[in-house]
Structure formats: structure tokens, C-alpha cells
């Protein structure tokens, strides 16, 4: 039986690649794709989710959730790595949705429709899930699992020296999710950064004649140019795709149960994920953090997933 998932994301090139793989993987039943503000604005994230799904035209359309702006959002984004529109500045035709539902409503509806059976794959800031918990306080009790992309066990950062972007963007929501009773798996920055994809990835993307290839060949090369020009690197990290791989191939990741929290204030420490590793007490947390990964095997899984998406489209 296919695993029921909702993908909460802020596309983003890596989110677009993750959606290409997830929407055509027979092991997954993607119930919904919900947009969240982060890499791009709320309106742009909502448009990008719809654009990617429209371009791929999957055999089973997921429900789409619209992002809401975050109050007091930091004046940062990741457009320098993803393009002004989040999708490498490529322009795709997209239909206009007349009846948009907020992402947290989609989360609540779909989890309640299949209690204890839905996995949430959170690829961006955790704003939507925190809002869903406020909307339905007992929702955390009936989610099967939450797999989170972001944070760092090693106190490593990409937006500040010590904070990862998804946690930095909305730390109060991240704290609310970390402290919730739902089962959580964290795929932190130091794990996703171990899976580095070289330039030959472009030659292994689906053919331009396929829907997946038409999308990916217009957005992925931008990531290589941005990483080279801005970071001085010849390879790229697709953080969201590695997190998707953790859902599909958990055997490739080593997890350790930890007590974790998120710092919400501090001039230097906003968004830092803090883990108590002293071993003074048995872990009270329902969070398992990845501490190791078989990077070569995950890379192979990504390539096979892209090939499958090409065949399906």
C-alpha cells in the first residue's frame, strides 16, 4: 500500500525536483502539496506549487494549499540561489485557481480524513504545521510522522553561522513543532550537505520531450550557476530531495533520538536548533535526528527517481 504523504514546501529549485520524484513514485500517495512562505513570498510559493504540479500533470492530482504571509518575517529569502521567482526565473504557463484553501486547512482536512496514516514532509519553514496545531490542537496526536528538512545537530548554519534557513525564518513555529507530541524525524543541514550532485546530473535529467525533463532542464542548470558564482562550488545540494529520500529509504540514514528545541530570540542565535546530548536523562523527545547518511546510495536513489519521473511523463 502506498504511503500517504503531504508535502509542505516553499519552491525553490530543490523542492521542484523533490515534487518531480514524489508525484510519480508508486510508493507514495501524495494527498496534498501545501505552499509556505520562505525561499520566496507567500504568493510566489503558492504560484510555484501550482506551476510545478501543472507542468508535471501527475496521474493523481493532489490538493493544493495556498501560503499565508508570515507576520514579522525576516527580510531574507533564498532567491539568490533559486532565482527571483524561485524557479530559476523560468516562465511557465499556469492556470488560475479561483478557490484557494489555506495550507493549514489542507493539512488538517487530510490528516483528519486518514488519522494515524499520513506522513508530513516539511521542506520549508514550519509555519503551516504550527498554524495547523493552533487550528486543531489535537492534530499532533493523529499524524503518523513528520519528516523535517532543516536545523543542525552540529550547530551549523547556512543563513547565519549557526542557523539553518528554515529554522531561522520562523523559529516560533519551529519551536512549536519541536515541542509537539507528534513523532518527528529531522534531516539536518550537515546531513543534506553530504549529498553533493555534480554537473553531470544535468545530462542525467529526463529528456526535454518529457514533462519532467521540460521542467527540470529549465531550472536545475540555474542552481549550478548560482552555486558556482555565489559559493564558488562546482556541485549543488538539493536539501529537500535528500529529505524525500529519507522518507523513501530510511535504511540509508542513521537516526539518534534526542531532546531538541529551537532558539527563538537572540542577536546571534535566532533559529539555532539546540540538542541536549549530555545523557543525564533518558530522552524525553519524540524527535529522531539523522546523524549519518550513505551519501552515494542516496545519490543513486535520486537519479533513479528522476529517471522514473521521466518515464512516467
Residue with cell 522518507: 247
**pLDDT, tens digit (0-9, with 9 covering 90-100), for 48-92:** 999 999 999 999 999 999 999 999 889 898 999 999 999 999 999
Domain CATH for 13:
3.90.245.10
Predicted TM-score of the model (pTM): 0.96
pLDDT at 139 over 80: yes
Q: Which residues, other chains included, contact 239 with Cβ-Cβ below 8 Å and sequence gap of 6+?
A: 14, 123, 149, 150, 187, 189, 192, 193
Distance CA 226, CA 80 (A): 7
Counting Cβ atoms within 10 Å, is residue 238 exposed (0-12), middle (13-18) or buried (19+)?
buried
* Structural domain boundaries, residue 168: 3-312
7-29: average pLDDT = 98
**What are the catalytic residues?**
239
**pLDDT, tens digit (0-9, with 9 covering 90-100), for 225-239:** 999 999 999 999 999
Query: How many domains does the chain divide into?
Result: 1
pLDDT at 217 over 80: yes
Written as nine digits, the cell of 160 is 547565519
Amino acid at each position: 500500500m502506498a504511503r500517504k504523504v503531504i508535502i509542505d514546501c516553499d519552491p525553490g529549485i530543490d523542492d521542484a525536483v523533490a515534487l518531480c520524484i514524489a508525484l510519480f513514485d508508486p510508493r507514495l500517495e501524495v494527498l496534498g502539496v501545501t505552499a509556505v512562505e520562505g525561499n520566496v513570498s507567500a504568493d510566489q510559493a503558492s504560484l510555484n506549487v501550482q506551476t510545478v504540479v501543472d507542468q508535471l500533470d501527475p496521474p493523481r492530482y493532489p490538493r493544493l494549499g495556498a501560503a499565508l504571509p508570515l507576520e514579522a518575517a525576516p527580510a531574507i529569502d533564498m532567491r539568490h540561489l533559486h532565482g527571483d521567482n524561485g524557479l530559476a526565473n523560468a516562465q511557465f504557463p499556469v492556470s488560475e485557481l479561483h478557490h484557494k484553501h489555506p495550507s493549514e486547512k489542507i493539512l488538517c482536512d487530510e490528516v483528519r480524513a486518514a488519522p494515524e496514516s499520513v506522513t508530513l514532509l516539511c521542506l520549508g519553514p514550519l509555519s503551516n504545521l504550527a498554524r495547523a496545531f493552533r487550528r486543531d490542537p489535537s492534530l499532533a496526536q493523529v499524524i503518523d510522522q513528520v519528516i523535517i528538512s532543516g536545523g543542525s545537530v552540529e550547530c551549523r548554519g547556512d543563513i547565519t553561522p549557526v542557523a539553518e534557513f528554515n529554522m531561522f525564518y520562523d523559529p516560533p513555529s519551529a519551536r512549536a513543532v519541536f515541542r509537539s507530541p507528534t513523532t518527528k524525524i529531522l534531516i539536518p543541514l550537515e546531513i543534506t550537505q553530504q549529498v553533493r550532485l555534480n554537473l553531470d546530473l544535468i545530462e542525467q535529467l529526463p529528456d526535454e520531450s518529457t514533462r519532467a525533463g521540460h521542467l527540470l532542464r529549465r531550472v536545475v542548470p540555474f542552481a549550478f550557476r548560482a552555486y558556482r558564482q555565489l559559493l564558488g562550488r562546482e556541485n549543488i545540494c538539493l536539501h529537500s530531495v535528500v529529505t524525500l529520500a529519507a522518507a523513501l529509504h530510511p535504511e540509508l540514514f542513521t537516526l539518534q533520538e534526542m531532546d531538541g528545541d529551537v532558539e527563538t530570540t537572540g542577536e546571534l542565535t535566532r533559529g539555532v536548533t539546540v540538542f541536549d546530548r549530555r545523557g543525564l536523562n533518558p530522552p524525553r523527545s519524540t524527535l529522531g535526528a539523522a546523524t549519518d547518511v550513505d551519501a552515494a546510495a542516496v545519490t543513486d536513489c535520486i537519479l533513479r527517481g528522476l529517471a522514473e519521473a521521466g518515464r512516467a511523463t
